[in-house]
């Protein structure tokens, strides 16, 4: 039974969701209009860093999917407060049927998951964009397949809007509709594989700078692949029946989205920290400690969880004492809990490193990673407008690393990178893979 006041709490939660969605839409529109209209001179769409492409497409996904969740929230508010029955049908309370009829709870599932699956990529795509930038910079190589990476981002964005039904395979949907969602879900593996293979190829024979940001980027590729592989099972309407709503789903979801997104976040923080805090650098050794403990514990939690799920342990149960058949798995769950607690403790290392470095971190040069993108041409001191004079003009893409003439000499003598604001030199060809 609901507790006193919980009904009002739910209604207030729905109202807050409506406000949150409206603010998210405004933020997304801001991103889209900024990228389209406010690029600097020479910054064509094919010269945009992949980070900005990812943010741009993420905003588009938000504009498409969030209004559907807004409609679900508003309809549920009307059901709760104004006597409608969009989601109510044949509801019995203490043996008496309510007079509401004609609605469908499954309709709410459709509206929720139409946002719910694109939301996965709203969280993940920015992390993938950050990884593209950090990995290319620290491999000292151009990103492999720039245009293919852009195309894969666009393909993921489109396909993410037509796969929501794979969350509802056991809701009673028509088997033919299930097969359609199986097909579209498996299709999304193609652009995802393009990104994974391009990351690996970017690393291949690169001059790898294994700083904490680079390690977290490589870690993202690992969890993106291992978590994505289990998605093939969950995306099949037949195989999903056995593991739906078990810990197998929890393991898949947290690896492919949760841990991958966190790795992208950490990579971005370590990479752009000097730009945020006037040239101060985070402690590299503490960054290594943070990465290795986090990476080992992440797999220590979620790798065994797949087997617990295949054994049938359901998700969302706070304890399984009512199911004696799962007693033999208790030791595995204790192991996962220990790994989770150690991983949480490792984040305290990151928090300490972050706060300490803001005030006492060693100051590095203006462009500590020898990166090509425009933000590293700004002075370390923050100022209105970022640049003291005219905004730089762009003459090339963002990934001219280790670029040489035919005789093997670097474009800029003694420097293996060419920032975007440097004009093309004599006899130099512009690259844009």
Q: How confident is the model over 132-182, as pLDDT tens digits?
A: 999 999 999 999 999 999 999 999 999 999 999 999 999 988 889 999 999
Residues in a beta bridge with 295: none
Whether 417 contacts 399, CB under 8 Å = no
| Tens digits of residue pLDDT in 62-81 | 999 999 999 999 999 998 88
Residues of the chain below pLDDT 70: 1-2, 91-94, 98-100, 432-433
pLDDT of 93: 66
User: Which CATH superfamily hosts domain 11-36+47-87+100-360?
Assistant: Cytochrome c oxidase-like, subunit I domain (1.20.210.10)
pLDDT of 38: 93
Residue 269's nearest CA partner among 291, 253, 297 is: 291
pLDDT of 428: 80
pTM score, two decimals?
Answer: 0.93
Residue 16's nearest CA partner among 69, 83, 86 is: 69
- Rg (C-alpha) for the chain, rounded Å, is 25
Q: List C-alpha distances in Å: 318 to 137, 293, 314, 336, 382.
A: 44, 27, 10, 15, 48
Residue 283's nearest CA partner among 130, 261, 376, 291 is: 291
d(CA 424, CA 348): 46
The residue length of the chain stands at 433
pLDDT of 100: 66
Whether 152 contacts 191, CB under 8 Å = yes
DSSP string over 389-402: SSPPPP-S-S--BS
């Amino acid at each position: 039974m609901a507790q006193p006041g919980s009904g009002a709490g739910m209604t207030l939660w729905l109202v807050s969701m409506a406000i949150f969605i409206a603010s998210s839409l405004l933020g997304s529109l801001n991103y889209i209009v900024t990228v389209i209209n406010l690029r600097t001179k020479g910054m064509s769409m094919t010269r945009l860093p992949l980070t900005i492409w990812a943010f741009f497409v993420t905003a588009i996904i938000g504009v498409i999917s969030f209004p559907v969740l807004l409609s679900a929230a508003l309809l549920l508010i009307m059901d709760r407060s104004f006597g409608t029955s969009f989601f109510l049908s044949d509801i019995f309370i203490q043996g008496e049927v309510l007079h509401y009829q004609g609605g469908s709870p499954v309709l709410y599932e459709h509206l929720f998951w139409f946002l719910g699956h694109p939301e996965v990529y709203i969280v993940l795509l920015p992390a993938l964009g950050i990884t593209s930038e950090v990995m290319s910079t620290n491999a000292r190589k151009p990103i492999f397949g720039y245009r293919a990476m852009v195309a894969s981002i666009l393909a993921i964005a489109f396909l993410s809007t037509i796969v929501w039904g794979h969350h509802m395979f056991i809701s009673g949907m028509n088997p033919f509709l299930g097969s359609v969602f199986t097909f579209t879900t498996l299709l999304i593996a193609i652009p995802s594989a393009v990104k994974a293979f391009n990351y690996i190829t970017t690393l291949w024979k690169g001059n790898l700078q294994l700083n904490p940001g680079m390690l977290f980027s490589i870690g993202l590729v690992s969890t993106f692949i291992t978590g994505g592989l289990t998605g093939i099972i969950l995306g099949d309407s037949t195989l999903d029946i056995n593991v739906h709503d078990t810990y197998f789903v929890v393991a898949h979801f947290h690896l492919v989205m949760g841990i991958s997104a966190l790795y992208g976040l950490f990579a971005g923080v370590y990479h752009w920290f000097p730009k945020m805090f006037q040239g101060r650098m985070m402690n590299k050794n503490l960054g290594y400690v943070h990465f290795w403990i986090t990476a080992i514990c992440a797999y220590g939690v979620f790798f065994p969880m797949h087997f617990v799920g295949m054994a049938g342990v359901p998700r969302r149960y706070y304890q399984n004492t009512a199911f004696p058949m799962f007693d033999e798995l208790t030791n595995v769950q204790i192991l996962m809990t220990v790994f989770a607690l150690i991983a949480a403790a490792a984040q305290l290392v990151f928090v300490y490193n972050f706060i300490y470095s803001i005030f006492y971190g060693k100051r590095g040069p203006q462009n500590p990673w020898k990166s090509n993108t425009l933000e590293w041409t700004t002075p370390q001191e923050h100022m209105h407008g970022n640049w003291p004079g005219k905004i730089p003009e762009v003459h090339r893409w963002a990934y001219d690393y280790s670029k040489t003439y035919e005789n093997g000499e670097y474009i800029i003598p003694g420097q293996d990178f060419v920032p975007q604001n440097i004009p093309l030199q004599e006899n130099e060809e512009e690259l844009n893979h």
